[in-house]
Amino acid sequence: MRVSEHRLVQARFSSSPHYDDRPTDEISLIVVHGISLPPGKFGGDDVEDLFLGRLDTSNPELADLIGVRVSSHLFIRRSGEIIQFVDFDKRAWHAGESVFLGRSACNDFSIGVELEGTDTTEYENVQYLQLVSVCRTLISEYSILNVRGHCDISPGRKTDPGSTFEWHRLEEALGSGLLRCE
Ligand SMILES: [Zn+2]
């Protein structure tokens, strides 16, 4: 994989309006998330629509997302397809209230990668392969020092990517230094 002008060449770009400028040039953290909409349903367009600000919230299962403005840099579907919503040098709105190593507002200095899934469903093998490749590419392009789950930076509030996410696969591919538990 390759990054050109802060976009992953291998991803389909779908421009989200939910971003702004980073307050710093630092991009040192990758945050791994899990998401599916409606929760537990895979393969539809609702996650992309949410990030694009055009989600049809008339579905009662999605009613709590009315007015929610969020995004992520990348979304890795269960098929392995990768969609990018925000340029890496811009701040995507994926982490919300968060703290990492004593620093709050992790969106400022992180790249958000969403996996299509739930906390309790095994992720697909191809998603791990793509995620490893994405991480390697971002590590070589930016000054990434750590890879963590949303659960790690928003404990008590977020649980994704969930207990089914196999961190050892990332650790084996990337080395333990990036994934060391604090
Ligand atoms: Zn998350």
pLDDT tens column, 18-47: 999 999 999 999 999 999 999 999 999 999
Tally of structural domains, the chain: 1
CA of 140 to the centre of ligand 1 (A): 24
Render pLDDT for 106-146 as a digit per residue (tens, 0 to 9).
Answer: 999 999 999 999 999 999 999 999 999 999 999 999 999 99
Catalytic residue among 5, 61, 97, 114, which?
A: 114
Provide the residue range defining the domain that includes 81: 3-178
Please indicate whether residue 114 is annotated as part of the active site.
Answer: yes
C-alpha closest to that of 86 among 153, 151, 21: 21
Q: Residue 42 is part of a domain; what is its CATH number? A: 3.40.80.10
Indicate whether this model's pTM tops 0.85: yes
